[in-house]
Each structure stands twice: as C-alpha cells, then as structure tokens.
Chains A and B, each alone.
Chain A
Amino acid sequence: MKESAQPVGTSIFDEIRKRAESHWENLWNDQKPVILVGTATCGRAAGALDVLQAVKEVVKNRNLECGIFEVGCLGHCYAEPLVIIRKPGYPSICYGHVTPVLAENLVANLILNNDPSLEFVLGALEANDLVPSFSDFPRAQYEKRIILRNCGRISPDEIEHYIAQGGYLSLVKALRMKPEEIVEEIKRSKLRGLGGAGFPAGEKWEVCRQSKGEPKYLICNGDEGDPGAFMDRAILESDPHSVLEGMIIAGHAIGARHGYIYVRAEYPLAVQKVQNAIRQAAELKFLGQNILGSDFSFDITLFQGSGAFVCGEATAMIASIEGKPGIPRHRPPRLATKGLFGKPTVLNNVKTLAYVPHIVKNGVEWFSQIGTEKSKGTAVFALAGKVVNTGLVEVPMGTTLRQLIFQVGGGITKGKRFKAVQIGGPSGGCLPEEALDIPIDFDSLQERGAMMGSGGMVVLDEDDCMVEMARYFLDFTQKESCGKCTLCRLGTKQMLDILEDITKGRGEMEDLETLEELAEDIKTGSLCGLGRTAPNPVLTTLKYFRDEYKAHIKERRCPALMCQSLMAYYILPEKCARGCDACVGTCTVEAISTDKKRRIKVIDQEKCVKCNTCMAACPPQYNAVVKLSPPDQVPKPK
C-alpha cells in the first residue's frame, strides 16, 4: 500500500463535519424545544413506542414547534420508558416511568406552561440549579462513560449526530497514520478483548497484519449469546457508528478489505440500526472504495446469527459465516493466520472495536491511566436480576463488586439480602458475599472461578436457589453444546441429570463428588470455550454454597424455597383476612377455595401449580401466603 503524501480526506471530512455540527447546533441551541424518546429494546418493552406516539400527537395537536428524536439506551433501564425534554432556558430534563398520558402532560406542562413537573423528574443531563442532574447521583462517582458516552443522547439513525460529537474524527486521524503505527498504538495501550476472554487485541492485529494471504478479513462479534447480557445490544442499538468507526480503523490497521458484523437474529432492532448505519456511512464515503479519498477501501457486511450460542466462539462464528453449522474447530492454526475462508482474520467484540476510536483519538497515555495494572480501560456491565437499578453501567476496571451492586445498582430489591452475583453467564460463576470486595478485572474474576464473560451480571438474593441456578446453566449449555466433543455432549447431560435429581429431592451425597469429577473431565476434554467453561457455574456453587446442596440431598429441603418439587404454598389461617378473596380470583388454576366452616382460604395442594400468583396477590397488610419446604410442612387438612 503506498503512503499518502497529502493529509487524507481533510477537506472532504471538514465539510461533512461542519454540516453535521451546524445541524446539531440548530437542533440544540435554537429557540425550538427538543424531545428525545428512548426507543431501544428495553424502552420498547416498557411501552416507549406508545409514548412516542403520544408525544407526536400532543406536539401536532397543540401546534408546538419542536424536534422529536428517537434515541437509544441511557442505561437507566429500571426507569423505562424515558423521555428527555429540553426547552431553551431549561436544562435537558429526563423523566422516568413515562406513560402515554403522562408524556402528553409533561410536554404540555414544560413547553406551554414552563412547569418542569418536578415530581416525575429522574434527572437532568447537565448540572444546573433547577433539578438534580445525573452527575449528582451517588452512582456518578463510580461511573465512567467512554463507550456508552453517546448512548441515549444521540439519535442512532442520524450519522450527523455522531459526527457532531466528534465521531469519525479518529478515522481521519487513523487514515493519516501508517497501519503499523495503529497496530503499535493498540498494542501499547494493552487493550484486551472485551468479549470476555481478555486476549490482547493488539497482538491479534499484529499477527494478522504480518500474516501472508489475501484478502484479510475483520469480524465484529455481536453474537451476544450469554443469557443475562445486553451490553452489545444496547451499543449497537444506541450508537452503531462508534462500532463501525472502530471496524474501519481496525480494517485499515490489519490490511483487511472486507469486514463482517455478526449480530444475533434475536436482536432485530440492532440489526436494523446497524444496517441503516452502514448505509449512511457508505453514503458519506466512510465505507467503500477509497475511503475519504485515501487509497484504503473497506466494506462491511451485516451477517445475522441464527440463534446458536456456540457461534459466539470465534471458529464457530467463522463456520457460520461460511454457511455451515456453527461447530468450532481446533486451534491452532490461529484465526490471525488462517480464519474466514482460510484467510488471515481478526475477530473482536463490539465493545473492543467501539474502544478503538477513543484510543486513536486520545492516545495510549490517556487509556493507560484508566483501570488496573493488567486490565486497562473500563468495563460495561449489564446489571439485572434482584438489583434496584437494573440497566447498563460502565465503570473503570478495578471497581469492586460491592460498589457496582450497592452504590451504582442501588442494592437489592424489596430490602432482601444479597446472596450471590452471577457473572459471565453460562461460562462464569456465582460469587458469594465474601467476594464482593475484590476489584473486578479479567484476572481477579478468573482466580475466583468466574470470568468477566461479556459482562452480564445477574444479582441473586435470598430467594434464589444456587442448586437451581447451577441446573439452569447446565440445562442451557447442555442444549447449546454443538455435539462435537464427547465429554461436552454427554458429560453436560450427565451433570444436568444429577442436578435435576438433586433439585427434585432425589439426590445422594456421592453425587457431589461425581459432579466435581465430571466437571474436571469436561473442562479437560472439550475443544472450545463452551465446554471448557460449562462446568463453572456448578463448580463455583459447589465451592461457595455447598450447604445448599446438602440441604437438598439430606433434608429434601430447598433453603431458598425455589425448587418447585421441594416446596409448597400455604395460607396461614391466622393471617388470612376473612372477607378478602384476592387470591381466589387470581389463582390461575382455581386451586384456592373458601373453607366455609373456618371462613378462610385454603389451597388445594393437588391442584396447585406453584405459579406464585396468590403470593403476589395477597395484600401486603395480610401477607398470609407463605412458602414451606419440604412440602410436608403444610398441615394436613382436617
């Protein structure tokens, strides 16, 4: 590749940038108010599209002059749907839990009557004297938004929004650098693969760059298959251009002509946003022949995954793109020498690639200051489960689990007690309270038997049974095992059978040793990451929560009252209110009737399907429905 004598693309890009910036300025500094509605998948699940419709209608009916934009995910998923209203003279105010009716009122109140409806405010985007801003939240001191910087603040459908935030500037800078220089920068930055394994990205790039064989390929792994993780989805839905920019720079650095972005079919909205983003980038010549007038050409193809967890594994993903079943192959040869179609290939996660523009722009020194000695930068986590503030968070590596769950996440829901946190999905493990003070990075988590994984973090409380969690993950990996390696195919099935027996009260104490033996065998005898890590949930729960296994086996009792075969619902006669029949009406199988003599409600244990509806329906002032384990604790009807 010949070197460009003239600064590449400066004039073309400057013009694009000027246009984008004035577009953005017009939007935000004009006299017109702006309304943003968060319509990423989380928001839509909570009803954001109805809210958007209501906003559009009120704007039309009241003849309001204002811009309405759909934005992605701010990370405050617990408060979805979110609406941000910005009126000149006021800060940008974000409202949470918005319903269509509320949306109409909020818009009319602020824009027509100058009433910011303080009681519905979640926070303001920027510091101000009127309402508390997000930066005043206690969580703000732990958060550091780098790859989530734009998420929820710009429209993912408009490339101008991204450019106005400094987007694609790194691409211009990178095009002026020699590819080797970029590889060197990424190597020096010690950026590690944020997909979970933490392999140094720069090393992959270097090997691929130096490998013989043309054409070379770049693949972006957006096959976020871990149940409980949604970081990549949110980034692709909210700020797809940041990933594309990272891909183009990476393509330039490794000498690839063609890139693939592999997105799961279960993420239809992400697919749509990425498709649109690729089209826009090509229109502005950030993709295609001679990008921004340089001699570098690069295309990106979107490939939709088809619902196979194992395809998140690099060699399986390649088989999938080649049109074959996603079955992993032995490595070496490494992908960087022999990958897609047998050619040198680099495969990086969405977040790793989204980081690239930031490192190119701000330099290695900037990046090195964030994070821990061996894990640099930030980590994005998807907080879910029994935590108050479910959603997306980005924190520097080295933040402790306690800070993340209790300060950022706001603690456990319903005032329950923390029991464990499940990190890294089916490949990860469950860590107990004792582990809460370890600083999170790639290595510290692995030492404890868990792993960073892609960043899914499911918080478990006293109501969650650890044996059941282990069974759940084994059920998942057993179904998702591609079947190539005997130990993974049959061993996980054996482990699952044993765990199922234990959760049904048919376990024996010897089973625990068999589980541990099988776990070690599967780890040794499997080719890919799926099999090698599949036993982790079982091993960590056996290590940290062995007593729960023992209670299931010896006492046929589930201490968390979760395993359905080992518990029953019971209505405490002394607490049951005589005239109330909330439970009778809601019971989905008509298993609750009134005992006429005693004038209380009674559950027919034969009919009961243990769906928990009566417990949820019983008014809190009575709290008469309880769970008992083992089921023979329920007094026999007289």
Chain B
Amino acid sequence: MSSEEADIRDKMKGILEKVGNKRENLIPILQQIQEEFGYLLPDAMLEVARFLNIPEIDVYSVATFYNQFRLTPPGKHSVRVCMGTACHVKGGHITLAAWQRRLKIESGQTTPDREFDLDTVACVGCCAMAPVTVVDKKVQAKADPTRVDGILLQFQLQKEKEDKVTN
C-alpha cells in the first residue's frame, strides 16, 4: 500500500468513526469526504457503501444526483460563477464566458495544470452584488470580465512570488 492510499484510508476511518451507519447519514458522509479530499474518490464511495451496508449504486446515484458533489479532482483554486437571476440580468453569462476564455476550459472542467477548476452555481444569494463569482469560497462582487482578469492577475503574481521563494 502506498503512503497516499494509507493516508486516504486513515482519513476515511476518521470520517466514518464519527457517524453511525444509518442510511440517512449518507449525504453528510459524502459531504465530509468531499470537504476532506475535494471530490468523491471511487474507493471512498465503495467504502461508504460497505459501511452503510447499501448497494454501491445507491451511493453513486446520490453522488450524481446532487450538484454539490464532484467525481473528478478539483483544481488548486475553485471558481464558481453564479448563474442566478440577478447575476444573469447583470451579465453573469458574459462573466462565465470570460472565465472560459481566460482559463481555456469549459464549465465543469479543471485546467491541465490543475491550478483552476471552473463551475457554475445556481445562486449564492448575493443578488444585490451581482454579477458575482465565488473564488476559493470568497464571494467576489461585481465580477465583470475586467474583474476576472484582475483576479487572475492576482493569482499569477502570487504564484510568481511563491516560485521565487522556492527557487
């Protein structure tokens, strides 16, 4: 067993130890797994099925039904463009197009260098600040295409600084 696998097993054990094996704990368990690893690993889902003593397909059906769960590894930074009504009338779709253009990926994908993952979110309830994008869990207000460039530039500068320190 590699150290990575052992690490996953330990973390899974930590999550499952704290909850009972009732079916109704399925969603909270999956939420904790995603919180821990950033996505739902296939092995983790299998283990949950064993733990709750339910068919594997039941775990998979819940994991794919809800928008919150992702089955692929996330990027280092998460970008969630709000598609709510207020954001839409203030150009949310234009903001999304700007992210897609700059990151060169579609919504639901991760950049090849694993720096960013891009997705949409139905509404984060910040309608008064529309259009918004949630970047690394922080809500960015009035995120138009120029703001998108600004945010990306910030990350780029930060990365260059970090690279300089490590070199």
Bound together? yes
A35 contacts partner chain B, Cβ-Cβ < 8 Å: no
User: B149 contacts A588, CB within 8 Å?
Assistant: yes
Do A228 and B98 form a contact, CB below 8 Å, given A41-B125, A308-B67, A326-B66?
no
Cβ of A265: which chain B residues have Cβ within 8 Å of it? 31, 68
Give 1 or 0 for each of A304-316: 1 = CB within 8 Å of chain B CB: 1011110000000
Cβ of A303: which chain B residues have Cβ within 8 Å of it? 27-28
User: B65 contacts A46, CB within 8 Å?
Assistant: no
Which of B85, B90, B94, B145 has a CB less than 8 Å from the CB of A227?
B85
User: A588 contacts B146, CB within 8 Å?
Assistant: yes
A224 to B24, CA, bound (A): 21
Which of B24, B97, B127 has a CB less than 8 Å from the CB of A384?
B127
A327 to B58, CA, bound (A): 14
A176 to B97, CA, bound (A): 59
Do A320 and B137 form a contact, CB below 8 Å, given A233-B125, A308-B67, A422-B85?
no
User: B122 contacts A307, CB within 8 Å?
Assistant: yes
User: B66 contacts A308, CB within 8 Å?
Assistant: yes
User: B146 contacts A586, CB within 8 Å?
Assistant: yes
User: A266 contacts B125, CB within 8 Å?
Assistant: yes
A226 to B137, CA, bound (A): 20
In this complex, what residue of A is CB-closest to B126? A45
Smallest Cβ distance from B12 to chain A, in angstroms? 18
B116 contacts partner chain A, Cβ-Cβ < 8 Å: no
B132 contacts partner chain A, Cβ-Cβ < 8 Å: yes
B84 contacts partner chain A, Cβ-Cβ < 8 Å: yes
A588 to B148, CA, bound (A): 10
In this complex, what residue of B is CB-closest to A302? B28
User: A42 contacts B128, CB within 8 Å?
Assistant: yes
Which of B24, B62, B97, B132 has a CB less than 8 Å from the CB of A321?
B24
User: B62 contacts A42, CB within 8 Å?
Assistant: no
How many residues in A have their beta carbons less than 8 Å from beta carbons of B?
64
Segment at the B interface, from A185-193, A439-447, A456-464: A456-464
A386 contacts partner chain B, Cβ-Cβ < 8 Å: yes
Give 1 or 0 for each of B122-135: 1 = CB within 8 Å of chain A CB: 11111111101000
Cβ of A610: which chain B residues have Cβ within 8 Å of it? 94
User: A45 contacts B85, CB within 8 Å?
Assistant: no
Which of B69, B128, B144 has a CB less than 8 Å from the CB of A613?
B144
User: B62 contacts A266, CB within 8 Å?
Assistant: no
Do A589 and B66 form a contact, CB below 8 Å, given A46-B129, A229-B125, A266-B125?
no
Which of B24, B68, B145 has a CB less than 8 Å from the CB of A323?
B24
User: A266 contacts B149, CB within 8 Å?
Assistant: no
B74 contacts partner chain A, Cβ-Cβ < 8 Å: no
B16 contacts partner chain A, Cβ-Cβ < 8 Å: no
Cβ of A609: which chain B residues have Cβ within 8 Å of it? 97, 101
B 28-63 contacts with A by CB, 8 A: 28, 30-31, 58, 61-62
Which of A225, A306, A386, A425 has a CB less than 8 Å from the CB of B66?
A306
A226 to B83, CA, bound (A): 11
Cβ of B87: which chain A residues have Cβ within 8 Å of it? 227
Do A225 and B122 form a contact, CB below 8 Å, given A384-B85, A385-B86, A464-B89?
yes
User: A266 contacts B31, CB within 8 Å?
Assistant: no
Do A323 and B89 form a contact, CB below 8 Å, given A227-B122, A476-B122?
no
A224 to B65, CA, bound (A): 18
User: B62 contacts A45, CB within 8 Å?
Assistant: no
Which of A320, A385, A586 has a CB less than 8 Å from the CB of B85?
A385
Cβ of A267: which chain B residues have Cβ within 8 Å of it? 124-125
Which of A45, A80, A230, A612 has a CB less than 8 Å from the CB of B91?
A612
A 32-75 contacts with B by CB, 8 A: 41-42, 44-47
A535 to B109, CA, bound (A): 31
B contact face: mostly helix, strand, loop, or mixed:
helix
Smallest Cβ distance from A192 to chain B, in angstroms? 23
User: A456 contacts B85, CB within 8 Å?
Assistant: yes
Which of A41, A323, A464, A588 has a CB less than 8 Å from the CB of B124?
A41
B121 contacts partner chain A, Cβ-Cβ < 8 Å: yes
Chain B interface size, under 10 / 10 to 19 / 20 to 34 / 35 or more: 35 or more
User: B65 contacts A325, CB within 8 Å?
Assistant: yes
A267 to B126, CA, bound (A): 10
Give 1 or 0 for each of B76-90: 1 = CB within 8 Å of chain A CB: 000000011111111
A390 contacts partner chain B, Cβ-Cβ < 8 Å: yes
Smallest Cβ distance from B122 to chain A, in angstroms? 6
User: B89 contacts A322, CB within 8 Å?
Assistant: no
A78 contacts partner chain B, Cβ-Cβ < 8 Å: yes
A439 to B54, CA, bound (A): 52
User: B85 contacts A230, CB within 8 Å?
Assistant: no
Cβ of B137: which chain A residues have Cβ within 8 Å of it? 268
A472 contacts partner chain B, Cβ-Cβ < 8 Å: yes
User: A230 contacts B140, CB within 8 Å?
Assistant: no
User: A390 contacts B66, CB within 8 Å?
Assistant: no
Do A266 and B124 form a contact, CB below 8 Å, given A306-B68, A323-B24, A588-B146?
yes
A612 to B144, CA, bound (A): 9
A456 to B61, CA, bound (A): 31
A322 to B66, CA, bound (A): 14
User: A309 contacts B122, CB within 8 Å?
Assistant: yes
Smallest Cβ distance from A139 to chain B, in angstroms? 15
A303 to B129, CA, bound (A): 27
A438 contacts partner chain B, Cβ-Cβ < 8 Å: no
Which of B101, B126, B138, B146 has a CB less than 8 Å from the CB of A230?
B126
A 579-624 contacts with B by CB, 8 A: 586, 588-589, 609-613, 616
In this complex, what residue of B is CB-closest to A610? B94
A 381-401 contacts with B by CB, 8 A: 382-386, 390-391
Smallest Cβ distance from B40 to chain A, in angstroms? 11
Which of A230, A307, A390, A586 has a CB less than 8 Å from the CB of B125?
A230
A502 contacts partner chain B, Cβ-Cβ < 8 Å: no
B118 contacts partner chain A, Cβ-Cβ < 8 Å: no
Which of A77, A322, A472 has a CB less than 8 Å from the CB of B128?
A77
Do A458 and B89 form a contact, CB below 8 Å, given A46-B129, A80-B128?
yes
Smallest Cβ distance from A299 to chain B, in angstroms? 14
In this complex, what residue of B is CB-closest to A234? B125
Smallest Cβ distance from A540 to chain B, in angstroms? 14
User: A588 contacts B85, CB within 8 Å?
Assistant: no
User: B66 contacts A41, CB within 8 Å?
Assistant: no
What 4 A-B pairs have minimum CB-CB distances, sorted nearest first?
Answer: A77-B128, A228-B85, A306-B66, A307-B67
Q: Which residues of B line the A interface, CB within 8 A?
A: 22-28, 30-31, 58, 61-62, 65-69, 83-91, 94, 97-98, 101, 121-130, 132, 137-141, 144-146, 149
Q: A469-B89, A588-B146, A613-B146 known; 9 other A-B pairs, CB under 8 Å?
A: A47-B141, A226-B123, A266-B123, A306-B66, A323-B26, A385-B85, A473-B85, A476-B83, A588-B145
14 A-B pairs with C-beta separation under 8 A: A45-B129, A80-B128, A227-B88, A229-B125, A306-B68, A323-B26, A325-B62, A384-B86, A458-B86, A469-B89, A472-B88, A612-B94, A613-B144, A613-B146
